Amino acid sequence: MLVMMLKGQFIRSFIKTIKVNMFMKKISFLTPVLVIMLVSFHPPVDKATMARGKKVYTQYCASCHQVDGSGVPGLNPPLEKTPHISGTKTRLIRIVLKGMNTHEEIDGETYSNIMAPHNHLTDLQIADVLTYVRNSFGNKGIPITPGDVKYVRARTK
């Protein structure tokens, strides 16, 4: 009888171990999927940020980059799905703060118009307009915060 009980406990323990191992394999298979989902998750952009950003864009950016973000061929680059927009926050913030006076090639086309620095804008205005651009014109990007702008401004000479 004791032997039968021990065998039963052993079998139950063995089955439990197998179930745990199978569960762990499923979890380890899902881990990369979960990581990709977390990395690609963008926090939602609030409507107030987008409204303020659109206002700044209309006042300071639309005359060169156009209302629809399409730019002007050979002069002002488009803001639709370009590496400058979808790339690092730091580079994009620095472009607004310092302007650009180099000939930039984007998607095989060179743009030669000089962009004036907009360092007179507040950290909030820059964060709002860049968040607006990164989430308009077919773009989907991580919001830029005033803290991001403040950090880059402090390190940009």
Predicted confidence (pLDDT) per residue in 141-156, tens digit = 999 999 999 999 999 8
* Residue 49: closest CA among 139, 138, 126: 126
- How many folded domains does the chain comprise? 2
What is the pLDDT, as a whole number, of residue 60? Answer: 97
Is the confidence at residue 122, as pLDDT, over 80?
yes
Same domain, 37 and 54: no
> Mean pLDDT across the chain, nearest whole number?
85
Same domain, 141 and 115: yes
Same domain, 16 and 79: no
What is the pLDDT, as a whole number, of residue 137? Answer: 95
At 33, the pLDDT band (50, 70, 90 cuts) reads low
Q: By residue range, what is the domain housing residue 8?
A: 1-41
Is the confidence at residue 2, as pLDDT, over 80?
no
Is the confidence at residue 40, as pLDDT, over 60?
no
